[in-house]
Structure formats: structure tokens, C-alpha cells
Chain A
Amino acid sequence: MFKPAQGKGWKSSMKIVELKNVKKTYMLGKTEVQALRGLSFSIERGDFAAIAGPSGSGKTTILNMVGCIDTPTEGDVAVEGEDVAVLPDKELTRFRLNKIGFIFQSFNLIPVLNVFENIEFPLLLKRDIGRKERQELIMHFIEEVGLEERIRNKPAELSGGQRQRVAIARALVTRPVIVLADEPTANLDSETGHMIVDLMKEINRNEKTTFIFSTHDRHIMEHAGRVINIRDGMLEERQ
């Protein structure tokens, strides 16, 4: 039977993400772009945090650092006490699989897999639970996101909101310590967007999973327990 994430891997420290003086520079053609300019902040376990800011402010770069899919040019990034900036690719892959859930702006479901299979996919990569337990877990999250009627549908047969629900279930099914969502409502109409954020918040409450999402939508920000404002790669925090 599925058990909520709270009971497993809960450590004494409340800081689940910690960024210290993080800088990120990359080349855009021949131009050097400073995406992050010495950023430091931390996020507590169980937070429902929004990273807000205009386009190009560095929101996605922060999520990439926290999500272990990019490394800082300078500074430290620790996730659950682990310095992820120094981990080799294999370790980072395992770390992402076990600790982090992703929700993408464009949903990014595997087009040839149906709803059930898309949610099952990360569990098959993990290969650490049996078939029966796996099915129970998947069904729990399918119910949680309200897609019981769409189990066998392929992504192309779903609406944008439904696809994002599948993405949320897929992100949660491995019971990660953090779920990162990159502008999860950007490709949805406002009503569906609110529903998705409500759903994420509800899961945050029920499963005690830490959510960090980027947005530039003020209405979505209102749902966040904490908003980290970014401008030009710098922090502009307000509670």
C-alpha cells in the first residue's frame, strides 16, 4: 500500500535546498550572458515555493540547478544536504530519479505511452518495487489527479490540463523529496491553470512534498506559501 513521502527520508534539517552565491554564465553565440549573479537562498522541507520574475530573469536556470540538470559556474547548490554541483553524470541521473520530480511547461509526456504507462515510466526506471505495489501507487496518483477515466489514453488524446495532471502524477509517483515545476500553467488557460496549482497545493498538503515552481503569473503566485522574486539573476525576496 502507498505510504506518503513524509515518513521516509525525513531528516532533522529543515533546509531541503540551499544555494550559496550561485553564478551562472553561458555563451549565447559570441555573447556572454550572466543568467545568475551570485544568488543565495534556501527552501524549507514541505514548502510550496514560487520563483517569480519576468522572462529571462533566471527562474528556469535556478530550477535547472536545483533539479541537477545544470551546474553553476560558481557557488554551491545543495539538495537534501548533498552538494549536487560536484556529482558525476551517473550519480546525478540516479539522484534525479530518486529525489526529484519534474513538471514541465510543455508537459513533456512520452507520446507513445498512455496515461498509465507515462506515470509508470519512472517507476520502471527505478526498478525497486514489485508489480502489484507499482500498480497501487500509480492508481493512487491517477485518482489524486482525477484521471481514472483516461487511463488508457495517449497524450495526444488529452487536453492540456489533463496532460499536466499526468505530468504531476508522473512527478510524484516516485515519492520525490522535491517537485520542480517550470511554469506549469504557462500553456493552460487561466481556469485550468488555477485548478492545476490548486491540485499541486493539495498534494503538497497531503503528501508533504516540497514544491518549487517558477511563474510570472501574479494570480498563481498568490497560491504560493513563499515567493522568491528574481530580477536580472539577482534575488528580490518577499514573504
Chain B
Amino acid sequence: MVFLKIALGSLVRRKKRMISIGLLVFFGAVLIVFGQEFARSAKTAARRAIVENLTGDVLLYSADSKERPSALSWTTPLGNIKNIAKIREFLAGQVDVESFTAYAQNYAIIMVSGETGRPSQEKEIPFIFTAVEPQSYVKVFDNFEAKEGSFFGLEETGGSGTPGSSLSGGFERGIVVSDAQNKRYQEFYDVTLKVGDAITLLGLSEGGSVNAIKTVVRGIYTARSFENIYDYVNFMDIESYSSLYNFTGVDTSSLPPELLKGLSATSEDEIFGIGGEHGGASLSDGSAIDFSKLKTTELSGFSLVSVRLKDGVPLAGFMNKIEGEGASYGFKAVKWDEASGGFAKIASFLGLFIYGASGLVFLIVALIIMNTLIINILERTAEIGTIRAIGGSRGFIRLVFLTETLVLNGLSGLGGIAVSSVLVAVFSGRGISLPPVIARYLVGGGRLYMSFEPGLILQALLIIVVISVIATLYPLSVATRVTPLKAMSETMQ
């Protein structure tokens, strides 16, 4: 073990220089372990925030849609999902599915009187909304804090309905308005909506007709996460939405042919000619429409279905499973990250940035180690020459210098890993307070709670060893080229 004695002794003898290398390796190890833990925790938190607040694990959308869905689909409205009843049945039969909810994203106009209430001051204000089944929606997304009123009369966010349940009552029809949006209404339109306000909603249906419904403001909410998105987003219950956009819930195949003709009418004459002189709910032959013969169908108008999976269910496996079925049910599916509108990429980019920064630090560390070792070798040529002269092999010289590097870098690296581990432990309990803007885009807002991944320690150690060995290769070749002649010609330092 004389090589170890010489290596350790030499490290101590040149301690100032070695400490500076050690500090760099220490910093590199901190960057690897803490930086990667930070990036990994941010990625995990971002995924959780996106899945729980924006997309679910998987997002289903109409097979007819050309655009892909995203958390910001208002800008690219998607086609309606047909066969929603079959899709519900299909999802309810999947053992991997925890919950799901169908919804749509659209625009409308709120017609409202000004604060003074005089008709002359009636105003039209824009209304961006998500039309939801309140009970199933709050089972999938947990992002609402009622400031006033409630989320469609549900007692608390979380609701009392069954997961993915169809409309079975249990909620109050109306709209729920974002508090931030409401403030903007005040700022730009001098209108403040209050819980209980009666309003008129105007919607432009696919057929081009303008519909209006009267409804009520049920709640004012603030978002717990992704305020930057939800500040602009309001909610409408799906029944109101169906009324507003003519999603009637009547199976058109059960309508009398004359009525179907009227529905596809292009002129007023055709429309008013349906009932002939009898008009009203009767046909041209004078017979009344038999409502008992009309078939109801599942309310449509949904453009998205968010699906939450049970804990531990592999996403890729579930995607493979449902993508094959999608064609027969008329849906396509995307994973949460593809549907997050770029939010998932922020955490991935952060991870890449930290990898890049770690790589850069270690490149610098490697160059400094290389440079310092070469200086050491030049200072120690007489010593190396002497060892070679008295019978030390090139292998022995290699062993001494490699040991020096590995001991120094190993100890410094372990120090860095230990400090990082303590920091991660502290921040896993306390959380890191990020600047609000970064927090909102990275993890939806709030503190970032770190978690510990032991595999990263092994990864960091492996990187340190590999970098040390690589950084030592060239100096070693210089050291082993020192001839015994140097013992005769050089003076020992």
C-alpha cells in the first residue's frame, strides 16, 4: 500500500492546490445531486399539478378533430365527441381508471346591466368558459377555492357525485366566475358579477344561430394552481351549455321527417311552413307531434374527456390499451404532457438546463484537474524519475496519480453529496419558495417540495469517478513518459 501512502502524502503536501480542486468537485457534486433532485422534484410536481389541474393523465378528444387538444384549447376549438355514452361505458369498465370527466371549452357573451341597473347601460361582456359536469369535474380536478357562493351548489370542492357520473341532478345550473376575471370585468366594463346575479348568456351555435339563455351566477372562485390560466377561465354547467348551443338531448333519428326537414331549413318560409296553418306542436297534416315517440340521447357537445388513472398505473401501457380502441369509439387520446400546452416542457427544460450546467461545471473541473495534475507532474519529475530509477514501474506511477485523483475527488464528491442530501431533506419538509412567476409556470404555483432519489447519489459518484479517470488520462501519459534520467538531472522539490 506504499502507493496509497505516497498519494495521500502528496495530497497533504500540496493541500492548497488540492483544496481548490476539491471545492470545484464539491460544487459539481452539489450541482449534480441537488440540481438533479430539484429538476426531478420540479418535474414530478409539474406533472402532478398539470394532471390534477389541467389535463388529467390522459385527454380524449374527437377522432374527427384536426387539432390536438391542450390546456389552452379555447384558441383551437375541438370537434364534438360523438358516442359519449359509449365512451363513458368504456372508461367505466377500465380497471386502471380512477375517475374521468367530460367537458367542453368555448366562448359566449354575458349580457348584463351596469351597476346602476338601467337598461340603457346593458353591456355585453366576453365569457371564456369550460362547460362541465360539476360532480365528475371536481373528482378529476381539484383546483377551486370558492371565494363567494359555491361550485354549482356542490357543498365543497370534491362534490358528492359519483366519478364520471352522468347528469343526475345534484348541482345548480348557472355559471361560476373567476375572481380575477370578475375584477377585469370591473376594470374594463364597470361590471362586477355577484353570486345570485341573473344574467343572460348569448351563444353562437355551430349552425350559425344565436341562442340566449337566462341563468344565475353560482360562485366566484380563485384557482389554487395555474392562476395564469384559470384567471381567465370561467365555468358553466353542461345543461346550460347544451341549451345554449342546441345540444338538445333528442335523438334526431326519432324525429318526424317533416321536423327534420325544418331543422335543415334555410329560409324562414321553410321553417314556418312546417306546421302549415296549424302551427305550434303539430305537423302539416294537423296531427300533433307525439313526444312519447321521441328518443332521448346522451347530451352531447363535449369536446374533451379527462381521465385520471389509479396510482402506479403505467401511462404508456394504458395509452397502448386505449389507442387501439379509440377508432371504434370515435376518440383519439393524448398524454398529459402533450396536452399541457407547453407547461410540461418547462420542467423538462429545467432538467436539461441543470444537466447542461452540471456538464459544463464538470468539463471545467476536468480541465482544472488535468491542468493541476500536469503542474504536479512537472514539479515532481525528479520524484517520478527517482521512483522509476530505483525500480518502480510505469504502472506504479499510474497507480499513485490515479489514487491521488480518486481520493481527492471521491472525498470532495462525497462531501458535496452529503451536503446536497441534507439540503434535499430540509427542502422536502419545508419546501422551496420560488419566485411567483417561476412557480406558476413551473409547478402551477406555491412551494416546491423536494423528494429524495437515492439513485442520484450513485449517479453522481459514477460521474465523479468517470470524470476523474478521464481527467487523469492525459496527465498519466505525461507522468509515465518521465524517464529515470530525470532523477539524475532534476532536483527534488
Contacts and interface: CB of A to CB of B under 8 A. Distances in A.
Interface string A97-120: 110011011111111110001001
Given A104-B386, A108-B382, A110-B386, A125 B488 contact: no
Contacts of A64: 485, 488
Q: Which of B8, B382, B391, B393 has the most CB of A within 10 A?
A: B391
Given A93-B392, A112-B10, A70 B485 contact: yes
Contacts of B237: none
Given A111-B13, A112-B6, A112-B13, A97 B390 contact: yes
Contacts of A60: 488
A96 B5 contact: no
A93 B5 contact: no
Contacts of B382: 106, 108
A113 B390 contact: no
Given A69-B485, A70-B485, A104-B487, A111 B492 contact: yes
Nearest to B11: A112
B487 A108 contact: yes
Interface string A71-106: 000000000000000000110011011100110111
A113 B6 contact: yes
Interface residues of B, number: 29
B155 to A, nearest CB: 77
A112 B484 contact: no
Contacts of A171: 390
A112 B485 CA distance: 21
B488 A107 contact: no
B84 to A, nearest CB: 80
Contact of A69 (B8, B383, B393, B487): B487
Contacts of A67: 389, 484
A47 interface: no
Interface in B476-491: 483-485, 487-488, 491
Nearest to A105: B488
B234 to A, nearest CB: 76
A107 B492 contact: yes
A89 B392 CA distance: 11
B5 A98 contact: no
Interface of A: 60, 63-64, 67, 69-70, 89-90, 93-94, 96-98, 101-102, 104-113, 117, 120-122, 124-126, 170-171, 174, 182
Top 9 closest A-B pairs, CB basis? Answer: A112-B9, A97-B391, A69-B484, A108-B386, A124-B2, A106-B491, A125-B391, A96-B391, A122-B390
23 contacts: A67-B389, A67-B484, A69-B388, A90-B393, A93-B392, A98-B391, A102-B386, A106-B382, A108-B382, A110-B386, A110-B387, A111-B492, A112-B5, A112-B6, A112-B9, A113-B6, A120-B2, A121-B2, A125-B391, A125-B392, A170-B390, A171-B390, A174-B391
